[in-house]
Amino acid sequence: MKCALVGNQNSGKTTLFNALTGSNQKVGNWPGVTIEKKEGVIKGTKISIVDLPGIYSFSPYTTEEEVSRKFCFEEKPDLVINIIDATSIERSLYLTTQLLEMDVDVVVALNMEDMLDKAGLKIDIEKLSSELGCSIVSISAKKNAGIDKLIDLISSNKYIRNNHKMIYPQEIEEVIKDCINHFLPEQNFKRFSAVKLIEHDKEYSVLLNNHLEENIKKLEKKFGMDGEQLIADQRYKYILKVKDKCVKSFPRPESITDKLDRIFLNKYLAIPIFICVMAIVYMLSVGVIGGLTVNIIDMLFNGAETLEISLFSASWAWEVNFLGLGPWLGGLIESSGGSVWAVSLVKDGIVGGVGAVCNFIPQIMILFTLLSILETTGYMSRISFFLDRVFHNFGLSGKSLVPFILGSGCSVPGIMSCRTIEDPDERHLSIILTPFIPCNAKLPIITLFASYFFGGSSWAISFSLYVFAIVIILLFGYILKKLIYKGHNSTFISELPSYQSPSIKYVARDVHDKTFSFIKRAGTVILLCSVVVWFLGSFTWTMTFVDGEKVLIAESMLASIGNAFAWIFYVMLGGNYSWAVSVSAIQGLVAKEQVISSIAVIAGLGEGASGADIFANPLFSFFTPWSAYAFMVFNLFSAPCFGAISAMRKELGSVKATMKGIAFQLGVAWVLASIIGGIGWLVA
């Protein structure tokens, strides 16, 4: 038996799905779109269940609705479980009545029974069931109440069969009947299709003939509105009738949600509160946890003599002399007679590369926990509500501020937080623009260049880069909105859900799923990319290993590739070909910190080399303040590290879109840096 779970957004659908399936889930994407598809098996049964996207209707306008409609028609589930929010029953039943027009049995899961009292509602479930003509089970997905009853009903097969109740006035029902009579016998979902014909749904226009068109026109004239409006109107009229019979409401004092919103949406307090909330999220995920864990994880992978941990401005250091996974494996290979390059492959290529990405894991876990809490409590919806006015002019969503703020710590969590943005175009744009914010790993680049070339005013230079990034983000948001997404009229129609206390179970699950999918990528794509960069940098074209003593990195394949790409940097470096700079930029793809360590290594210095030493080396002595600024700008805007690229790939949903995004970022970086470097060249 095959079930589908259907419901509005914010109806508790995901919570119910988790409660029904337990850990037995498979997460993927719907074919051709970036909407997540979850499948599972209902606990203690063999019934499979698919979680359809959260929708309000089966209109032909949104991808989510399209996907749901297709599933119901092509996969023909045996049963649809329709979860509805009991506290907004009128709107919820709108979808239910559409489901009942399909040739499928429907069981309604009336969610949030525990909230009814607070909302001042009383629902006569038996009466509602007989009015609608389908089985209803009262549940609370969050409190796990009524779930067993729901599973029993489904597996016992004793639910009420769909008898296609007539819900419209007689005139409309007659036209529907007429349509059904004109359909070919093999036409599926006859009643649903007939209603769609009256609504002028384009996908059904092939079924139309002159006679039916005539009838529908008469109908529209009689009611004085077009078919689409007529059906919506009459559907709600029917629901209102049902509601009057089955739902009693009592006046309630002002709800907690309204009281809280007086504070959180207050004209003067809303923005300061938001800044505080974001500061806490940032501090915990990027600041505190980042500072506490980065060195520990680095130690586990690469070993360390001393372990330094920082919390705010305080820091502690211990003598640990920890070997680390990479050096340990390297030693193992060495002692069993492996060659130097094999040791380096494991130590620097594999463990080093993946370790650089795994540094993000604690931050990601904390971030997802906090985001999940913000989302389940209902605060996230408020953020997009009050920031919408600022951002929608730039093709972005009110929620875009969240990825931008987080991106100043690390692009990976920033990009991942874009998934809370509903509108696909706004989400897309936010994902591509988030890496423009200078992340923590780009800071060493800025620090080195700014302090050497700009001395006392280096803070102003660093600050100017942030301002530059923000200006560019808004500018390109505006340009891309006008150029690429023109014609798409973004609208903002969303619910402000009631505030709720977060469910620990839901949050834990959410964090687990999202973190795990990131780790999986670190072990596959990111691993491969790091090994490729390691290989190119560690061998010459004659496959001699670059040991840094007899054979230098200048002779490696990466150096000649760097040479081939050096023209890219020609203008921004004020008319200098430099393989060394181009190699450093390429190594920045593994992790942005590597730009500086690569520059130091190429200059024949240790990793912590000072600016004075580095820029005394003939390979880098051509840098001027202009070209230094240009190079900083290039690194700021160019393709982010592999970790962020793979996060982009995950969130954008396709390789093609990711490639386009990276090409765009490189283009912006190149043009801006070349302009700055070019001006410097002319001035000189």
Distance CA 86, CA 142 (A): 13
Q: Which stretch binds another protein (CB under 8 A): 100-108, 143-151, 488-496, 528-536?
A: 488-496
> Binding of another protein at residue 244 (CB under 8 A)?
no
Residue pair 290/410 in contact (Cβ under 8 Å)? The answer is yes
Which tokens hold the place of 123? 């629902």
Coil, helix or strand for 272?
helix
Q: How far is CA 601 from CA 121, 346, 613, 682, in A?
A: 71, 20, 12, 31
Give the amino acid at 68.
S
String of contacts with another protein for each residue 64-103, x by CB under 8 A = -----------------------xxxxx--x---------
Helices (H), 588-654: 593-602, 611-616, 625-637, 642-652
Q: Which stretch binds another protein (CB under 8 A): 189-197, 227-235, 445-453, 514-522?
A: 227-235
Q: Which residues contact 646 (CB under 8 A, 6 or more apart)?
A: 521, 522, 525, 526
Taking CB under 8 A as the criterion, the residue among 62, 63, 144, 560 binding another protein is: 62
> Binding of another protein at residue 204 (CB under 8 A)?
no
φ, ψ (nearest 5 deg) of residue 300: -60, -40
Taking CB under 8 A as the criterion, the residue among 328, 492, 565, 664 binding another protein is: 492
The residue among 347 and 392 lying less far from another protein, judged by its C-beta, is 392
What's the min distance (Å) between Cβ of 267 and another protein? 5
What's the min distance (Å) between Cβ of 121 and another protein? 8
> Binding of another protein at residue 547 (CB under 8 A)?
no
> Binding of another protein at residue 386 (CB under 8 A)?
yes
Q: Which stretch binds another protein (CB under 8 A): 122-130, 169-177, 487-495, 569-577?
A: 487-495
Taking CB under 8 A as the criterion, the residue among 103, 171, 228, 555 binding another protein is: 228
What's the min distance (Å) between Cβ of 500 and another protein? 14
**CA angle (670, 676, 681) in 5-degree steps:** 110
> Binding of another protein at residue 526 (CB under 8 A)?
no
> Binding of another protein at residue 254 (CB under 8 A)?
no
> Binding of another protein at residue 489 (CB under 8 A)?
yes
Give the amino acid at 364.
I
Q: Which stretch binds another protein (CB under 8 A): 207-215, 386-394, 502-510, 653-661?
A: 386-394
Which tokens hold the place of 544? 């001699």
Within 10 angstroms of residue 577's Cβ, the number of other Cβ atoms is: 13
> Binding of another protein at residue 221 (CB under 8 A)?
no
Within 10 angstroms of residue 109's Cβ, the number of other Cβ atoms is: 28
Taking CB under 8 A as the criterion, the residue among 9, 25, 59, 447 binding another protein is: 59
String of contacts with another protein for each residue 342-381, x by CB under 8 A = ----------------------------------------
φ, ψ (nearest 5 deg) of residue 9: -65, 150
The residue among 59 and 617 lying less far from another protein, judged by its C-beta, is 59
Residues binding another protein: number (CB under 8 A): 40
The residue among 276 and 317 lying less far from another protein, judged by its C-beta, is 276
Which tokens hold the place of 426? 């706004």
> Binding of another protein at residue 265 (CB under 8 A)?
yes
> Binding of another protein at residue 267 (CB under 8 A)?
yes
Contacts of 234-241 with C-beta under 8 Å, sequence gap 24+, read 234/167, 234/168, 234/169, 234/172, 235/94, 235/97, 235/98, 235/167, 235/168, 236/90, 236/94, 238/97, 238/167, 238/168, 239/90, 239/93, 239/94, 239/97, 240/90
Distance CA 97, CA 102 (A): 9
Distance CA 382, CA 269 (A): 13
Taking CB under 8 A as the criterion, the residue among 38, 142, 392, 419 binding another protein is: 392
Q: How far is CA 165 from CA 103, 127, 405, 539, in A?
A: 12, 15, 52, 75
> Binding of another protein at residue 649 (CB under 8 A)?
no
The residue among 225 and 675 lying less far from another protein, judged by its C-beta, is 225
Distance CA 340, CA 378 (A): 56
**What's the full length of the chain, in residues?**
684
> Binding of another protein at residue 494 (CB under 8 A)?
yes
> Binding of another protein at residue 270 (CB under 8 A)?
yes
Taking CB under 8 A as the criterion, the residue among 31, 61, 335, 541 binding another protein is: 61
> Binding of another protein at residue 268 (CB under 8 A)?
yes
Distance CA 194, CA 180 (A): 6
Listing DSSP states for 143-185 in one string gives: TTBSHHHHHHHHHHT-SPPP-----S-HHHHHHHHHHHHHS-T
Helix axes 424-433, 655-683, angle to 10 degrees: 40
Q: Which stretch binds another protein (CB under 8 A): 205-213, 268-276, 292-300, 321-329?
A: 268-276
Q: Which stretch binds another protein (CB under 8 A): 178-186, 362-370, 384-392, 412-420?
A: 384-392
- Look-up: residue for tokens 């309000």? 56
What's the min distance (Å) between Cβ of 347 and another protein? 54
The residue among 389 and 482 lying less far from another protein, judged by its C-beta, is 389
Distance CA 361, CA 131 (A): 52
Contact residues for another protein, defined by CB under 8 A: 56-57, 59, 61-62, 87-91, 94, 225, 228-229, 232-233, 236, 249, 258, 261, 265-268, 270-271, 385-390, 392, 489, 491-496
